[in-house]
Structure 1
Amino acid sequence: MNENQSEMISLIKKLAPSQGYTQSILENITFMRVDQALESMQTLYEPSIVIVLQGEKHGYYLGEKYTYDAQNYLVVSVPLPFSVETIASSEQPLLGLILRIDPLILAELVVDLSDYSETLSGQSISALYASPMDICLENSVYRLIKALSEEREAKILAPSIYREILYRVLVNEQGQVLRSTLYQNNSFGKISKVLHYIHNQYQTKIDLDYLASQANLSIPSLHVHFKAVTSTSPIQYIKMIRLHKSRLMMIQENTTVEDAARRVGYESTSQFSREFKRLFGQSPMDEVKKMKSIFTLSPSS
C-alpha cells in the first residue's frame, strides 16, 4: 500500500464512520462501508463506477465473476440487477465509494471524445466490467476524496474531479462500452435507452410495443437484443426493477409492504410477496429487517 492509498483509507473511515452508505456533499457520490463478510445477495446498481479502496467484492452476472477491489474498479453501464458478495471484517472493513454516472456529463464528454469513438463491431459487450486501476485514475480518486473531506473544496473542486474521473474511465481500453450506451445506431445503445426508460418509469404501466418503438426494433428483435444485454426478458426485467425499488422504499422510507407493492404497480399484495420471496429468498419483512441491520443511508457529515 502506498502513501496515497493509506491516506485515502484513513479519510474514508472518517467520511463513512458507520456501516452502510454515507452520502457525500456531492450528490453523485456515496461512500460505502461494510464491517462483515456478506454472502451473495441480489442488488441493483444504477449506472455507476464502484471504487473499492479496502476489502473485496465479487459480482456475478451472466455466469461471469467480476472482482472489484483496491486493484480493480467496476463499471455498470446500464441499470442492472445482479448478485454481489462482500469480503470484509471488523478489522479490515470494506471501504469505497460509488460514483453515479451523470448522463448529461457523460454525454458532454462523449461528444468531446468523438475522435476516439471506435466501432464496437466484432467486440463482445457486457453491461458491466471490471478494469485495473491505473496510476492516473488512482491520483484522481485520491484528490477527490481529499476534496470531499473539506466542505469548501467539496463544493468548488470535487465536481471538476468527478468529471475528470468519468473522463479517465471513458478513455480506458474498455471505456467504449460505456460510450456505446449513448449511440443509437447499435443494439447496445438502443437497449440502454429502453433500460433507462424502465428504470425511470417502473411505477407506470409499461407497454412492450412502446419499448420496441423507442428502440426502433420489432418486438422479436427487442426480446433478442434485450436478453443479450440483461440475460432476461423485458417483462422479467421490469418485475425485478419493481421488486428492487420496493425493497429500497421499505428500507429507506419505512414503507409498509402493502404500500410498497401498490407504489411499484402491484394490485395484489400476496402476489407481490410471493414474487419478492422468489427473488430475494425471504419475505419482504424478513428481507428488510436483515438489510436494515447491514445497510443504512446516512446523510453527509
Structure 2
Amino acid sequence: MVELMLRLAPEEGYTAAQLDGVTFMRSNRPLPVTPALYEPSVVIVIQGRKSGLHAGNLYVYDAQHYLVLALPLPFSIETEASAEEPMLGLALRVDPLQVAQLLMGLGDLPTCEPATLYSSPIDARLSDATLRLLEALADPDEVRLLGPSILREILFRVLQGEQGSGLRATLAPNSHFGRITRVLQRIHSDYQEPFDVPAMAELASMSVPTFHVHFKAMTSRSPLQYLKAIRLHQARLLMIRNDMSAISAAQRVGYESPSQFNREFKRLFGRTPGDEAHHFKRLLSLAPAVDTRARVAF
C-alpha cells in the first residue's frame, strides 16, 4: 500500500483522486497543531500518524486506526511525518444517500451511543478493501469500473465495525442527532446567510433550550460558535483557492465588519488573514501539485 500511495500521491499536499469522493493526503514533514475542517469522511492513514483534538478528546489515526467523521466538524489536527517516511493517507467522503441504502440492508445492529467523531482499529477486511481501492486507483479502467463498488464496500465495513451503530444513530433522520444534522447541512450550504438560534431550532423541530443542548453535545460548540468557525474556514479557503482579499472573503461568508472578521480569524488560526494566505501560498509554491480543490480543508 505504501508503494502504491507513493506513486499515486508523488507530491506533498491534498490531491483529488480519479474517483469522486477520494482525496490523497501526503506530508513529507511534521505539521504542528492546526485548525482544520473535514467533511463527513473516513480517513485511512497508510503510513505516518495524525491526531485530532476535539472537545478535549484525542483521536489518533495511523496505519492501525482509521478516523470517521459523521458530520462536518472543525477541530485541530497534528501530523507526524518525515522525508524518509512521509505521512500517506486517503480521505473518503461519506455519502449520506449511500449510508442510508446500506443501513436499509444491514438490519438491526447492536446499539451504542451516537458518535460524530471516532477512531477505530483497522481489521483485515477493511485493510484488504483499502488495498484493492489503491490498486484500482492506479488503473484507469479499474477505477472507472470497480472503484465505486470498492468505495461502497469500505463504507459497509465501517458501518459493520465496532462503532458502526454509533454512526447509524448519528445519521438516523428522526433522532435528535438526525434533526441537528439537518441544521448542519443548512449551515454548510448557506453559511453566508444570516442565521439566528430560534430559526435553527425551528428547522430542527426543537425548542431553543433543547436544540442548544443537543447541538453542543454533537459539535462541542454553541450554534453561533459553530457557524462562526465554518465561516472563518470558508473565508480561509476563498483566500487560498481564489486569491481573494480578506475584505472580499469576509463579505462573501457573511461578515459585515472587517475588524470583527480580522479579530476572530486571528483568534482561530493564530495569524491575520493576510499572513495566513501568504503562508499557504508559500507552501503551495513549494508543492505545485497540491490540489486546493480537494474536499478536505487544510
> After the TM superposition, which residues 1-301 of structure 1 pair with which residues of structure 2 at under 5 Å, given as runs?
8-113=1-106, 115-120=107-112, 123=113, 125-294=114-283, 296-297=290-291
Q: Distance in 2 between matches of 1:81 and 1:183?
A: 22
Q: Which region of structure 1 is more displaced relative to structure 2, 128-137 or 183-192? A: 183-192
Deviation larger for 173-182 or 37-46: 173-182
- Which is worse superposed, 101-110 or 76-85? 101-110
Give the TM-score, by structure 1 length: 0.92
Shift of residue 103, structure 1, vs aligned partner: 1.5
How far, CA to CA, are the matches of 1:83 and 1:256 in structure 2? 25
Partner SS for 2:71: coil
Of 64-73 and 226-235, more deviation after overlay is shown by 226-235
Contact 1:22 1:298 in 2 (8 A): yes
- Give how far 1:118 is off: 4.2
- Secondary structure of 2:20's aligned partner: coil
CA shift for structure 1 position 141:
0.4
Counterpart residue identity of residue 27, structure 2: V
Change (3 A) 1:228 1:250: same
Deviations 1:18-57 (A, max 9, x none): 1101110111000000111111110001100000000000
The answer for the alignment partner of 2:287 in structure 1 is none
Runs of at least 5 residues in structure 2 that lack an aligned partner in the other structure: 285-289
Which amino acid letter does the alignment assign opposite residue 18 of structure 2? I
Distance 1:294 1:95, change over 3 A: farther
Shift of 1:208: 2.2
Q: Distance in 2 between matches of 1:197 and 1:45?
A: 16
> Deviations along 1:139-175, whole A, 9 cap, x unmatched?
0000000001111111111001000000000011101
Task: Quote the Cα distance in structure 2 between the aligned partners of 1:287 and 1:220.
Answer: 37
Give the paired residue count. 289
RMSD: 1.6
Separation (CA, whole Å) in 2 of partners of 1:94 and 1:174: 25
Q: Distance in 1 between matches of 2:129 and 2:189?
A: 31
Once residues 166 and 277 of structure 2 are traced to their aligned partners in structure 1, the CA distance between those partners, rounded to angstroms, is: 34
5+ long unaligned stretches in structure 1: 1-7
CA contact (8 A) 1:15 1:22 kept: no
State the 1:11 CA deviation. 1.3
Mapped to 1, the partners of 2:135 and 2:196 lie a distance apart of 46
